Amino acid sequence: MEITSKPASESYTVMNELVLPNDTNPLHNLMGGRLLHLMDIAAAISAQRHSNHIVVTASVDNVSFKHPVKLGDVITITAKVTRAFHTSMEVRIEVYSENIPSGTKIKSNEAFYTFVALDDDGKPALIPELIPETEEEKRFYETAGSRREFRLILAGKMKPENATGLRAIFFPADDVD
């Protein structure tokens, strides 16, 4: 199969879920682990749409729970690939909780997940380049390299001094000549 470029919009995924009693903790809030599970599914669908391959989760960035999601709320999870590298891709996820009877909707979470595409033998597969079209897509595309370097440093796969996009953060004295 020929590897071609694909627009970010082709990976856009929306998933809705009603928060039921078995999804909640004793405070009647959605359990964090359940939300992470749902976010992973939405992000994986997005990554599969872009890559046309089965994907596996490689990393999950910091997920802060900004607003509790209550029993009976409907959560909407959106996911879209922000950057494709050779075999991996970054996916941005946003989570909104909606209380339909009151008409309130609030952003609960957002995060970046990284996936690796696999071929039929379970080996990393080359994926299409991503074409950002909107201003927001271009902004996330441009900043994805620095986020990737940060992930690689945290995973011990890159030394901070080799991170060109993050060099000023780790070595601020280098900028002064």
List per-residue pLDDT tens for the chain, 177 residues long.
Answer: 556 899 999 999 999 999 999 999 999 999 999 999 999 999 999 999 999 999 999 999 888 889 999 999 999 999 999 999 999 999 999 999 999 999 999 999 999 999 999 999 999 999 999 999 999 999 999 988 888 887 877 777 777 777 776 665 556 555 444
For residue 2, give both structure tokens: 């020929």
- Does the residue 47 lie in any domain? yes
Tell me the CA distances in angstroms from 118 to 56, 115, 124, one per residue in order.
8, 10, 4
Q: What is the pLDDT of residue 160?
A: 73
Amino acid at 101: P
> Whole-angstrom Cα distance, residue 89 to residue 127?
9
- Does the residue 155 lie in any domain? no
Do 131 and 5 touch, CB atoms closer than 8 A? yes
Do 46 and 80 touch, CB atoms closer than 8 A? yes
Q: What is the pLDDT of residue 124?
A: 97
Per-residue DSSP letter, 87: S
Q: What is the pLDDT of residue 161?
A: 76
- Does the residue 11 lie in any domain? yes
Tell me the CA distances in angstroms from 26 to 22, 66, 69, 98, one per residue in order.
10, 19, 13, 20
- Does the residue 147 lie in any domain? no
When divided into structural domains, the chain yields a total of: 1
Residue 100, domain extent: 6-132
Residue 107: CB atoms within 10 A of its CB come to 12
- Does the residue 141 lie in any domain? no
Domain containing residue 103: CATH number = 3.10.129.10
Is residue 122 classed as helix, strand or coil in its secondary structure? coil
> Whole-angstrom Cα distance, residue 136 to residue 142?
10
Direct distance between the N- and C-terminal alpha carbons of the chain, in angstroms, rounded to an integer? 50
- Does the residue 117 lie in any domain? yes
Please list, in sequence order, all residues whose beta carbon lies within 8 angstroms of the beta carbon of residue 169, skipping any fewer than 6 positions away: none
Cα dihedral sign, 100-25-14-143: positive
Which phi and psi angles does 36 have, rounded to 5°?
-60, -40
